[in-house]
Amino acid sequence: MPGNWILHVDLDQFIAAVEVARHPELRGRPVIVGGTGDPTQRAVVATASYEAREFGVHSGMPLRTAAKRCPDAVFLPVDKPAYEEVSERVMATLRRFPVVVEVLGWDEAFVGASTDDPEALAAEIRRAVTEDSGLSCSVGIGDNRLRAKTATGFGKPAGVYRLTEDNWSEVMDGRPTEALQGIGRRTAKKLAELGIETVGALAAADRDALAARFGPTMGPWFRLLARGLGDREVTATPYVPRSRSREVTFQQNLTEPAEIAREVAALAALVADDVVAEGRPAARVAVKVRFAPFITQTRSMTLDAPTSDAEVLREAALRVLARFESTRPVRLLGVRAEFEVKDE
């Protein structure tokens, strides 16, 4: 009888790969995508090709830093419509298979399948994606979502890997806790303070001790992560953005409060247009401020009622801006409208 499997399909170095497909002459060269493509301007790396990553370049890094680490890189501007078009094409390819497809974003999706040979299905998916888009993908196979997504990391680049209850402990127990989805550097450091440095140690940790350190919800949840336990359901629902945002990095720091307020108001107007286009009212407004040299803070507020009204969103953004106390120069501003999330 066929078994029920979850496959996690992840497009390799997606944005960079799209750019290389458009510009074949860049194949094999270090490619960095971000901002307007000008490394002398203030912006951050959206993605870097594997060749650029070898120089220590990674997403979120300032373009100027990336240029210092990899001076021979080719810098390209972000082209969101192009990435959306390719992503939609790939997801359409996945839906041609007798599977359930749950889109997670531009470059990844869960696939629920009933098959007695998940590796063969993964190979067929990889082949079809390459034929239809020219891109490569990695596929993680698991008996739940967590194990499937974790498996993808072992399959990269352009490979397939299976991770299930049978081999979870063998593969994961000796790895650092940061190898788990959902555990970052800070949490790993706090776990280490408790003498927990590996996935295996976390899986065997005392539940009450974890709850005392991280809270009654997060502490036990970390223990479940370490045991590879997770949701087994894949839902065929389209990807629905939870928010719309706009931000801008300034070439010269802003120092005048009135000027900062004008920029936030302008960003809020753009976000309001996006909210109207989305066809869903916003329930919350957030403002992001990056102070010089590189300290980022975010504040937010819940609206009295969900709305698409531009004036209400603008006023909310300005009220949130007033909550920032720092008088340091500002290098980046962002405004985000978050949509109402309803329980299923």
Element (H, E) at 306: strand 295-307
HSE-up of 205 (CA within 13 Å, CB side)? 32
Q: How far apart are CA 315 and CA 306, in angstroms?
A: 14
Catalytic position from the list 25, 108, 165, 193: 108
* Three-class DSSP category at 162: strand
Tokens standing for residue 320:
């949130």
CA geometry: angle 102, 105, 107, nearest 5 deg: 100
Bridge-partner residues for 172, per DSSP? none
Pair 48, 144: CB distance under 8 Å: no
Closest to 78 measured CA to CA, from 59, 91, 93, 103: 59
How far apart are the C-alpha atoms of 210 and 218, rounded to whole Å? 8
The whole-angstrom separation of Cα 6 and Cα 161 is: 12
- Contact criterion met (CB below 8 Å) for 232 and 320: no
Q: Report which of 38, 41, 29 is spatially closest to residue 77, judged by C-alpha positions.
A: 38
Three-state secondary structure string covering 235-287: CCCCCCCCEEEEEEEEEEEECCHHHHHHHHHHHHHHHHHHHHHHCCCEEEEEE
Annotated active-site residue 51? The verdict is: no
Q: How far apart are CA 272 and CA 229, in angstroms?
A: 40
Cα within 13 Å of Cα(37), Cβ side:
9
Residue at token pair 């409060």 = 257
- Catalytic machinery residues: 108
